[in-house]
Amino acid sequence: MSNIRHNVEPPVRHLPKAPTRTRSLAAGESVDAHRHDEHQIVYAGSGVLAVTTDAGTWFAPGTRAIWVPAGAVHAHRGHGHLNVHFVGLSADDNPLGLDAPTVLAVGPLLRELILAYTRDPDDDTPERRRLLAVLRDQLRASPQQPMRLPTPTDSRLAAVCALVHANPGDPRTLAELGAATGAGERTLSRLFRGEFGMTFPQWRTQSRLYHALRMLADDIPVTSVAHHCGWSSASAFIDVFRRSFGYTPGTYNRRSQ
């Protein structure tokens, strides 16, 4: 299950413009590393979309979008079948004031605005320009979501993260994982806080949710997902999922259509 791509390798395509369009991605299909001189909003109405840079992986289910700032070298990967909507914004048009990828909540109005704006990319009528103005207003009002798996730079931290990504259901404590990789628990705890800004349990929950979303996108039953990703029971998984996303995993695919 662990094919998280944390390091974006050259060669990197340079696209002067961030195209506004809709593109279909098959399950597991990826878009190689590239950058563009404009900002971009990336929204997939179903499945799970992951955007990876050298700094980490941002992941968004169908009810979220990802802001990609101008100049950021990034790659896309889809899980489940996705119709991905791309909205390009000029480099001097940054309604969010963000210089790093960020996951945003997408409410019903913002969703419809994105769908409408990407329906006919060649349309340059005043009506469509007004549509973009409202879309930008809605972006500013969209809550940011902490759906990121940072890239570890310390080799000891990277070794522990690799073990968890390879087996999200691994029940071992940080001390036990440290013993398996030759690092002390206190050192690792400090590294998680220093590099990631979160504790090991917080990071592991993020990792497990990412793997869970990918499995749900492949229509794997909730009970199997809960077991594979390390929750003690399906009800425990459902509780964490609901608190993270606002709905249960059983309704996830229906909501993201």
Report yes or no on 164 lying in a domain: yes
Give the tokens for residue 96.
Answer: 């969010």
Could you give the dihedral angle defined by the CA atoms of residues 85, 89, 94 and 95, in that order, rounded to the nearest 10 degrees?
A: -60
Are 95 and 160 within one domain? no
Q: What pLDDT is stored for residue 28 in this prediction?
A: 84
d(Cα 216, Cα 25) in Å, to the nearest integer? 17
How far apart CA 108 and CA 64 sit, in angstroms, is 11
CA distance 188 to 232: 25
Report if residue 2 sits inside a domain.
no
161-199 burial, b for 16+ CB within 10 Å, e for fewer? beebbebbeeeeebeebbeebebeeeebeebbeebbebe
Q: Which of 123, 148, 173 is the last residue of a domain?
A: 148
160 and 144 together in one domain: no
**Statement to judge: residues 130 and 185 lie in one domain:** no
Q: pLDDT digit of tens for each residue in the chain (257 aa)?
A: 444 545 545 578 887 788 899 998 888 888 899 999 999 999 998 889 999 999 999 999 888 999 999 999 999 999 988 889 999 999 998 888 898 999 999 999 999 999 999 998 888 899 999 999 999 999 999 999 889 999 999 999 999 999 999 999 999 999 999 999 999 999 999 999 999 999 999 999 999 999 999 999 988 999 999 999 999 999 999 999 999 988 899 876 555 44
* Domain contains 248: yes
Written as six digits, the tokens of 188 are 């690792």
How far is the CA of 39 from the CAs of 82, 100, 243, in angstroms? 21, 10, 30
24 and 127 fall within a common domain: yes
Tokens 């109005």 identify what position? 109
3 class by beta-carbon count within 10 Å (0-12 exposed, 13-18 middle, 19+ buried): exposed
CATH of the domain at 61: 2.60.120.810
Please report whether residue 4 resides in a domain.
Answer: no
Task: Provide the token pair at 141.
Answer: 């009002």
Are the CB atoms for 184 and 123 separated by under 8 Å? no
Note whether 156 and 144 are same-domain residues: no
203 and 112 within one domain: no
In a domain, 5, yes or no: no
Residues 111 and 179: their CA atoms lie apart, in Å, by 47
Within-domain flag for 144: yes
Kindly state whether residues 186 and 243 are assigned to the same domain.
Answer: yes
In a shared domain, residues 88 and 129:
yes
Do 85 and 173 share a domain, yes or no? Answer: no
Burial of 97 by CB count in 10 Å (0-12 exposed, 13-18 middle, 19+ buried)? exposed
Domain boundary among 103, 118, 148: 148
- Pair 229, 184 in one domain: yes
Domain of 224 in residue numbering reads as 152-255
Domain co-membership, 25 together with 131: yes
Looking at the structure of the chain, the number of domains it has is 2
Question: Can you tell me the distance from the alpha carbon of 89 to that of 192, in angstroms, rounded to the nearest whole number?
Answer: 34
Q: Is 121 exposed, middle or buried (0-12, 13-18, 19+ CB in 10 A)?
A: middle
Residues 38 and 141 in one domain: yes
Decide which of 122, 148, 174 is a domain's last residue.
Answer: 148
Give 75's Cβ-side CA count (13 Å radius).
22
Of 58, 52, 62, 101, the closest CA to residue 85 belongs to 62
